[in-house]
Amino acid sequence: MSTTYRDRVGGERTGPVPSPAIYEGTRIPSPIPSILQVPAELREAADILEVNFGPNHPSTHGVLRLVVELDGERVVGLYAVVGYLHTGFEKSMEQKTWWKGIPYAPRMDYVAFQANELAFVMAVEKLLGIEVPPKATWMRMLLSELNRIHSHLVWLGTSALELGAISPFWYTFRERDRVLDLFELVTGVRMHTRYFQVGGLAEDVPPGFFEQCRQFCHVMPKAVDQYEAMLDQNPIWLARTKGVGLLSARDAIALGQSGPVLRGSGVDWDLRRATPYLAYDEVEFDVPVKSNGDVWDRYKVRMDEMRESVRIVEQSLEAMPAGRWIADDRKVVLPPREELHTSMETLIHHFKLVTEGFTVPEGEVYVAVESARGEFGCYVCSDGGPRPWRVRFRAPSFVALEATATCMGEALVADMIAVVGSLDTVMGEVDR
Amino acid sequence: VTLGDVPGVVETREAHGETTVVVDPARLVEACTYLRDAEGFDFLSDLSAVDYLGWGEKPVAGYWGSASGRDLNAPGAAGHRRVPAPKPKRFAVNYHLLRVSQALEPRRVRVQIWLDEGETPQSVVSVWPTADWHEREAWDMMGIGFDGHPNLVRILMSDDWVGHPLRKDYPIGGEPVRFSDAE
């Protein structure tokens, strides 16, 4: 079903895996694609009950409000209300220097934080045209994959919990803590690491990190087997995920879905392979694709992705280059601390960078990375000054929520929890 | 692949390895349909607007100045090396397209339209349904109305919000404080 990047290099691009028709035609509601409207005749005939889920409901991720209309147990109408976590990240970043804008990015998607950081930093680097040392590139890739594992673990634990399976939560959070320990070791904090710096990494990798990371790679595949052992044969889990929340490949593309949701619908698409960035074209990994487009397939895609991420981390550890962790460009990168006491030039550079920030040439770029949730894009526009003119984030969760209405065809109210869970939205990223 | 055949194309630019196709807003849907069907750009990654009010000029409301009066935002004062090239109109709307399902090389293209205050482009919800929420966000944040959008209401701000926060003339920290004895 899936091929490695190497198989495809030099060959023809094969296009999508032909998927069986999950359903005929399209299920995208018309005329409003994101709202499921109750047909007029049904509203006349049946006793429709309008129920408000959220914005604070134990079974929704974060503050999402869903207004559903029920005909008995059946969901016949639905719309989502978002914006409760809107904090104006994009506006705030226009007021800060490029440098001070970096910590904003990871705070949007607080589960897959490093992908956000990476997209913003890479966009700024693209405008600057600055060369990143190989060690930084590989470390970024390693940490991004650890972060993907982290995000999928949080997703699995909470989604299973919402469907009544309590045990996986404890197991996934056991491994999640190991990942967070690794982040703490290398960056000093467990979440919102702000470790990626324009030009490379904020600091060198501390001693002991690679060894601890290797131990984690040893443990993780077995842990994934354990999660699957808990869920794969579980009749309740099977009944609540198989055939629920259907989304065809055609509808998924039309609705702009990306990441595991798109791949669960049978579209063989992964930015890491299609438009390789960092060093993804130098490692071998498979892109898991499933073709039934239901909650179960999205679950399986994420499970396989965790295994593939471990493979990428292992290869990164093998190939990790030595050398500097950040570019040697005094106009952009903070100078080494110890030089501040002896060199006037260094002191001036330090002072200018901290007070005024570096300037970025005029222009606009769009950089997209494959975050744990799909295409995380960052559009950056500069007027040549020390602050961004405009920063815009393409949040995969925001787009995923649009598909809720399409996935709800013939669903019961209990399925809604499974469907919304399987889209893996993080509200901080939806509302930004 | 040449993108010069796009209907209503005004200009095609290459910068930073990215292709930008500027099209006439009046022929936007035509251009987008062509790109989707004939060029295989079946995936709308992103739709976002930029406000260029005050681009290359003295600052507008909502910007900081320092206590000493030195204008940190004036070109040349805060690290601006040169005044940026002027823009044709106040707002730009960027459509970032991507090829996903076609057996063609993966490629991105940016479709750009330019608008003045009050001008409304056509909605592309009929071309890519995913534009629904993106256009609502552009309306909410930038005040760009889209003709033919089926449900153009605010999405992130509350329904009774006044103003469009991402506009450059929207003040920072300008949220009115409501006192209990007022109103």
User: In the predicted model, is pLDDT for residue B79 greater than 80?
Assistant: no
ipTM of predicted complex: 0.86
Residue A36 has what DSSP assignment? B
Query: Quick check: B16 and A363 CB within 8 A?
Result: yes
pLDDT band at A311 (very low <50, low <70, confident <90, very high): very high
Which residues lie across from A231 on neighbouring strands?
none
Q: Are A256 and B82 inside 8 Å of each other by CB? A: no
Q: At what angle do helices A167-187 and A209-231 cross, to 10 degrees?
A: 170
Residue B150 is nearest to which of A31, A377, A381, comparing CB atoms?
A: A31
Q: How far A213 CA lies from chain B's nearest CA (Å)?
A: 34
Query: Would the pTM of this model clear 0.80, i.e. be above it?
Result: yes
Tens of pLDDT, residue by residue over A102-159, are 999 988 888 888 999 999 999 999 999 899 999 999 999 999 999 999 999 999 998 8
Contacts of B46 in chain A (CB under 8 A): 366, 377, 379, 392, 394
Residue B142: predicted pLDDT? 92
Report CA Rg, chain A. 23
Kindly tell me if the per-residue pLDDT of B144 is higher than 50: yes
Q: A416 vs B172, which has greater pLDDT?
A: A416
Report the distance separating Cα A219 and Cα A198, nearest Å: 33
Q: Residue B86's CB: how many other CB atoms inside 10 A?
A: 9
Q: Report the pLDDT averaged over residues B62-89.
A: 56
Q: Whole-number mean pLDDT of chain B? A: 81
What tokens does A109 get? 């998607």
pLDDT band at residue B72 using 50, 70 and 90 as cut-offs: low
Q: What angle do CA A299, A58, A293 make, to 5 degrees?
A: 25
* Residue A414 confidence (pLDDT): 86
Residue type, B102: Q
Residues of B in contact with A381 (CB under 8 A): 50
Asked if the Cβ–Cβ distance from B101 to A358 is below 8 Å, we say no
> Which residues in A130-258 belong to E strands, given as ranges?
196-197, 200-201
Above 50 in pLDDT, residue A430?
yes
Work out whether the CA dihedral A393, A398, A400, A403 comes out positive or negative. negative
Look at residue B73 and tell me whether its pLDDT is greater than 80. no
Backbone torsions φ then ψ of B46, nearest 5 degrees = -155, 150
Measured between beta carbons, which residues in chain A are less than 8 angstroms from residue B132? Answer: 32-34, 402
3-state helix, strand, coil in chain B (%, to 5): 15, 20, 65
Is A398 touching B (CB cutoff 8 A)? yes
Q: Pick the residue from chain A with its C-alpha nearest to B51.
A: A390
Smallest Cβ distance to A86: which of B64, B98, B157? B157
Which of B33, B45, B149 best probes binding to A when mutated, by most A CB atoms within 10 angstroms?
B45
Task: Please answer yes or no on whether A274 and B55 come within 8 Å at the CB atom.
Answer: no
Contacts with A431 from chain B: Cβ below 8 Å: 156
According to DSSP, the residues that pair with A70 across neighbouring strands are A49, A75
Q: Does residue A317 sit at the B interface (CB-CB below 8 Å)?
A: no
Summarised one tens digit per residue, pLDDT across range A53-69 is 877 765 556 788 889 99
The 3-state secondary structure of chain A reads: CCCEHHHHCCCCCCCCCCCCCCCCCCCCCCCCCCCECCCHHHHHHCCEEEEEECCCCCCCCCCCEEEEEEECCEEEEEEEECCCCCCCHHHHHHHCCHHHHHHHHHHCCCCCHHHHHHHHHHHHHHHHCCCCCHHHHHHHHHHHHHHHHHHHHHHHHHHHHHCCCCHHHHHHHHHHHHHHHHHHHHHCCCCCCCCEECCEECCCCCCCHHHHHHHHHHHHHHHHHHHHHHHCCCHHHHHHHCCCCCCCHHHHHHCCCCCHHHHHCCCCCCHHHHCCCCCHHHCCCECCCCCCCCHHHHHHHHHHHHHHHHHHHHHHHHHCCCCCCECCCCCCCCCCHHHHHCCHHHHHHHHHHHHCCCCCCCEEEEEEEEECCEEEEEEEEECCCCCCCEEEEECHHHHHHHCHHHHCCCCEHHHHHHHHHHCCCCHHHHHC
Residue the block writes with tokens 């063609």: B104
Measured N-to-C along each axis, helices A167-187 and A134-162 cross at an angle, to the nearest 10 degrees, of: 160
CA distance B53 to chain A (A): 10
Contacting A residues, span 88-117, partner chain B, CB-CB under 8 Å: 88, 90-91, 95
Helix (H) or strand (E) holding A420, with range, is helix A413-422
* pLDDT interval class at B160 (50, 70, 90): confident
Categorize the per-residue pLDDT at A250 as very low, low, confident or very high, splitting at 50, 70 and 90.
Answer: confident
pLDDT at A8 over 70: no
The residue among B72, B99, B155, B170 with the most chain A CBs within 10 A of its CB, best to mutate, is B155
Number of C-beta neighbours around residue A354 at 10 A: 12
Task: Please indicate if any CB of chain B lies within 8 Å of the CB of A229.
Answer: no
Q: Residue B79: which of A91, A249, A385 has the nearest Cβ?
A: A385
Summarize pLDDT for B5-14 with one digit per residue, the tens. Answer: 888 888 888 8
Residue B22 has pLDDT above 70, yes or no: yes
Helix (H, G, I), strand (E, B) or coil at A275: coil
Distance between CA atoms of A57 and A235, rounded to whole angstroms? 26
- The reply to whether residue A399 touches residue B100, judged by beta carbons under 8 angstroms, is no
Question: Do A377 and B158 lie within an 8 Å CB cutoff?
Answer: no
Check whether A318 has a pLDDT greater than 50.
Answer: yes
Interface size between A and B, measured as CB pairs under 8 A: 143
List, for residues A382-403, the tens digit of each pLDDT value: 987 788 999 999 999 999 999 9
- CB B91, CB B51: distance < 8 Å: yes
